[in-house]
Amino acid sequence: MQRELTVLSREWCHLCHELVEQLEPVARELGWTVKVIDVDRHPELEARWDELVPVVLAGEQELCHYHLDEAAVRAYCSGFPLESAP
């Protein structure tokens, strides 16, 4: 299972850039990756998340929007067991 957080973002959004900059080191520390998606390139995402961007998602679950809620991200990520060695 890939451990990935998704940030719904906009290229011109300073809050989006700040959230990604804050999230990336936390995600790395916890062993997760960050994928950034520009909602302006995906009309279905823009229609759903328009005014809430930036949004941090874990799959379909919203962890936070506008500003990073580090506690929420840590709580979600810590809920996953360690991966077994091959």
Q: Write out pLDDT tens, residues 46-60.
A: 999 999 999 999 999
For the segment 58-65, the average pLDDT, to the nearest whole number, is: 94
Q: Would 84 be classed as within a structural domain?
A: no
Domain count, the chain: 1
| Calpha distance 68→15 (Å, rounded) | 10
pLDDT of residue 83: 52
Q: What's the domain range around 48?
A: 23-78
Average pLDDT in the 32-58 region?
Answer: 95
**pLDDT for residue 85 is more than 50:** no
Cβ distance 12 to 19 under 8 Å? no
Identify the pLDDT of residue 50.
92
Q: Is residue 86 part of a domain?
A: no
Residue 8 lies inside a defined structural domain of this protein: no
Residue 4 belongs to a domain: no
The reply to whether 18 falls in a domain is no
pLDDT exceeds cutoff 70 at 31: yes
What's the mean pLDDT in 38-46?
95
Q: Is residue 13 assigned to a domain? A: no
| 8 Cβ contact list (under 8 Å, min separation 6) | 37, 39, 45, 49, 52, 53, 54, 55, 57
